[in-house]
Amino acid sequence: MIAPAPAATLAGSTIDTPIGRLGLLAGEAGLVKVTFAHEAFGEVAERLSARLGARLVQRPERLDQVKRQLDEYFTGRRRDFDLKLDLSLIAGFALAVAGRLRAIPYGATLTYGQVALSLGRPGAARAVGRACGANPAPVVVPCHRVVAADGRLGGFGGGLDIKSALLTLEGVTCR
């Protein structure tokens, strides 16, 4: 479920996973942001809070379901996320790409060009790549399932090692 409404409050928490510590930020409408270990979570939370005009609050229970589903994903017990998302950080084509990414099944990949074509924008593979790079909720919105036309990994905000690890977890082999 995508709920593009700005957050009045923002709760944060972290979770240790096989790909490193993930930072999680959620507003009333749902999960807003997922960060990777190399990102300074506290600084991201402060910047995001200011950008959204949201007050940071101590409400870790707001992220309990996100943590549970991520744990299930990383232990092979979950293939799809059923979480409320607040994707107000993206708009336009990037929001359409995020919707398409959520429809890529576990264990499957599409190329950037295939995603563009499926959205009625043939030739917009680079725009899909930029939209994947702007994805505020990686792993949950599975931009890691989008690869280059030649079967190589392409890019990933968490780094190619993490993209490879996520695809391996899902049983996908890439070059």
Nearest to 87 by CA among 95, 96, 77: 95
Active-site pick, 52, 139, 143, 166: 143
Does the annotation count 132 as an active-site position?
A: no
CA distances from 172 to 3, 45, 57, 98, 112 (A): 30, 32, 39, 21, 16
* First CA to last CA distance, the chain: 33
Percent composition of the chain: helix, strand, coil (DSSP 3-state, to 5): 40, 20, 45
Residues annotated as catalytic (active site), given as ranges? 143
